[in-house]
C-alpha cells in the first residue's frame, strides 16, 4: 500500500520528558548522536529544531527513528505528535502539593505523562482507563516515565461518582475519549496498540461515537470542584468536534454548572487554525477551539476545546 503523501509533511516529534531530562541535556545528546540544530524550514537528514508552541518538544525529519534509542527506552523521550501535546498545555494543570487533576481516558498515557511533567510530579493525578489491556500499557508507560503523582484506576469514567470525596479537590479534567481516529495519517505515534481503524468511518459509527463523547463531557461537568475541562479528539469530523462541543454547551449539566467555552486567549492563541464557524451554533465560538489539519499543519488531524466555569472567566485561569 503506497504511503499517504501527507505523512511526509509530518516531522518526527520527540517530547523531552522533563521529569527525567532537560531540553538542554537532550540537545547535547542529540548533537553527540550526530544530529545538527537547523531551521524549521529545513528539517532534513540529521537536522533538528525546537518547537515554538510546545515547550520541550523537538522536530526531526519524518523518517527519523527513536524506538531503539537509549533515551527513549529509559523514558526520557516520549514519541508524541505535536497536536497531541496541545490538550495538556491548554489544560495547564496546577503545580502544587494540593493540586488535583483527572485524566479521564488515559491509555496509553502520553497525555498523562505530559500532565504529570507539567505538574512537576506534585499534587495528585487520577488516571482512568476502562480497558484492561490498555490499562497495563498505561501503568508500564507511566512507570517508565517516572510519574510519581499518578494514581491509575482501571474503571469506566462514567461509573466514577462526581460526589466521591476522593475527587472533591479535583479542579481540572482532561478528556481525550475514543474517537474515529480519522485525523491520523502518521501512525508512527499510534503504533502502540492503535485503538481504532480509521478506514471505516460511517455515519452510524460517528453518531455512536458522538453520543458517547457527549456523555463523557457531561459527566465531567458534574464534578463540583472542577473549573476547567479540556476535550480533544484525533478526528477531522465536525460530528465529533464542533457539534459535540455545541451540544455539551447546551446541556443541563453545562447550564447547571455555568460552563462556557474558554476564550481564545487561553487556548493556544498563537495556533492559527481554529474551529469551523459553520459547524458551531454561533460563528463567534469558532476561535475558541483548535483544529489541526493532517499534513498541512505538519501534524496529524486533531481538535481541542476548553470549557471553563463562567465564574472563572474573570480570574486568571491557569
Ligand atoms: N489520552 C491517551 C494518550 O494520549 O495516550 C489516549 C486516549 S485514547 C484516544 C482513549 C482511551 O480511553 C482508550 O484507551 C479507551 O480504552 C479509553 N476509554 C474509552 N472510554 C472510556 C471510559 N468510559 N472510561 C475510561 N476510559 C475509557
Determine the distance separating the centroid of ligand 1 and the alpha carbon of 47, expressed in angstroms: 34
Residue 105 Cβ inside 6 Å of ligand 1? The answer reads yes
- Nearest-angstrom CA–CA distance, 175 and 149: 18
279 assigned binding-site residue: no
> If pLDDT is split at 50, 70 and 90, which confidence band does 4 have?
confident
pLDDT score at 312: 55
pLDDT score at 311: 73
**pLDDT beyond 80 at 192:** no
Residue 215 Cβ inside 6 Å of ligand 1? The answer reads no
> If pLDDT is split at 50, 70 and 90, which confidence band does 191 have?
very low
Write out pLDDT tens, residues 250-308. 999 999 999 999 999 999 999 999 999 999 999 999 999 999 999 899 999 999 999 99
Region of poorest pLDDT, from 35-49, 164-178, 184-198: 184-198
281 assigned binding-site residue: no
Determine the distance separating the centroid of ligand 1 and the alpha carbon of 106, expressed in angstroms: 5
Probe target for ligand 1 pocket from 17, 101, 104, 107, with the most ligand atoms within 8 Å of CB: 107
pLDDT score at 40: 81
pLDDT score at 39: 85
Residue nearest to ligand 1 atom 17, measured at CA: 105
Write out pLDDT tens, residues 226-257. 999 999 999 999 999 999 999 999 999 999 99
Mean pLDDT of 73-84: 97
- What the block records as the C-alpha cell of 228 is 476547567
- Nearest-angstrom CA–CA distance, 247 and 210: 10
Mean pLDDT of 33-38: 95
Q: What percent of the chain shows pLDDT beyond 90? A: 85
Domains recognised in the chain with CATH numbers? 5-79 (3.30.70.1170), 84-190+197-312 (3.40.50.150)
Write out pLDDT tens, residues 129-170. 999 999 999 999 999 999 999 999 999 999 999 999 999 999
Q: What percent of the chain shows pLDDT beyond 70? A: 92
- What the block records as the C-alpha cell of 156 is 469506566
Report the range out of 1-5, 42-46, 268-272 with the highest average pLDDT: 268-272
pTM: 0.94
- The mean pLDDT of the chain is 93
25 assigned binding-site residue: no
Residue 219 Cβ inside 6 Å of ligand 1? The answer reads no
Determine the distance separating the centroid of ligand 1 and the alpha carbon of 105, expressed in angstroms: 3
Which residues are 49's β-sheet partners?
59
Q: Is the interface score ipTM higher than 0.90?
A: yes
Residue 309 Cβ inside 6 Å of ligand 1? The answer reads no
pLDDT score at 199: 54
Amino acid at each position: 500500500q503506497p504511503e499517504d503523501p501527507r505523512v511526509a509533511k509530518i516531522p518526527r516529534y520527540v517530547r523531552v520528558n522533563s521529569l527525567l531530562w532537560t531540553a538542554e541535556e537532550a540537545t547535547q545528546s542529540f548533537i553527540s548522536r550526530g544530529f545538527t540544530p537547523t531551521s524549521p524550514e529545513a528539517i532534513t537528514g540529521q537536522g533538528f529544531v525546537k518547537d515554538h508552541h510546545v515547550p520541550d518538544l523537538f522536530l526531526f525529519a519524518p523518517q527519523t527513528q527513536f524506538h531503539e534509542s537509549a533515551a527513549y527506552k529509559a523514558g526520557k523521550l516520549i514519541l508524541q505528535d505535536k497536536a497531541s501535546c496541545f490538550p495538556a498545555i491548554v489544560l495547564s494543570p496546577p503545580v502544587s502539593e494540593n493540586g488535583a487533576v483527572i485524566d479521564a481516558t488515559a491509555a496509553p498515557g502520553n497525555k498523562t505523562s505530559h500532565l504529570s511533567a507539567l505538574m512537576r510530579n506534585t499534587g495528585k493525578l487520577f488516571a482512568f482507563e476502562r480497558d484492561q489491556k490498555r490499562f497495563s500499557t498505561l501503568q508500564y508507560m507511566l512507570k517508565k516515565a517516572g510519574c510519581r503523582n499518578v494514581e491509575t484506576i482501571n474503571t469506566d469514567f462514567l461509573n466514577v461518582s462526581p460526589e466521591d470525596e476522593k475527587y472533591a479537590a479535583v479542579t481540572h479534567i482532561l478528556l481525550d475519549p475514543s474517537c474515529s481516529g480519522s485525523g491520523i495519517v502518521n501512525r508512527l505515534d499510534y503504533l502502540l496498540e492503535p485503538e481504532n481503524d480509521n478506514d471505516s468511518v460511517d455515519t452510524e459509527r460517528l453518531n455512536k461515537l458522538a453520543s458517547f463523547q457527549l456523555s463523557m463531557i457531561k459527566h465531567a461537568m458534574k464534578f463540583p470542584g472542577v473549573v476547567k475541562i479540556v476535550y480533544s479528539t484525533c478526528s477531522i469530523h465536525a460530528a465529533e468536534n464542533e457539534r459535540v462541543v455545541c451540544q455539551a454547551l447546551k446541556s443541563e449539566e453545562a447550564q447547571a454548572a455555568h460552563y462556557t467555552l474558554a476564550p481564545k486567549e487561553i487556548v493556544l492563541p498563537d495556533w492559527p487554525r481554529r474551529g469551523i464557524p459553520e459547524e458551531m451554533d454561533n460563528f463567534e465560538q469558532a476561535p475558541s477551539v483548535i483544529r489541526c489539519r493532517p499534513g498541512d499543519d505538519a501534524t496529524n488531524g486533531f481538535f481541542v476545546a476548553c470549557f471553563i466555569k463562567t465564574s472563572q472567566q474573570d480570574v486568571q485561569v491557569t
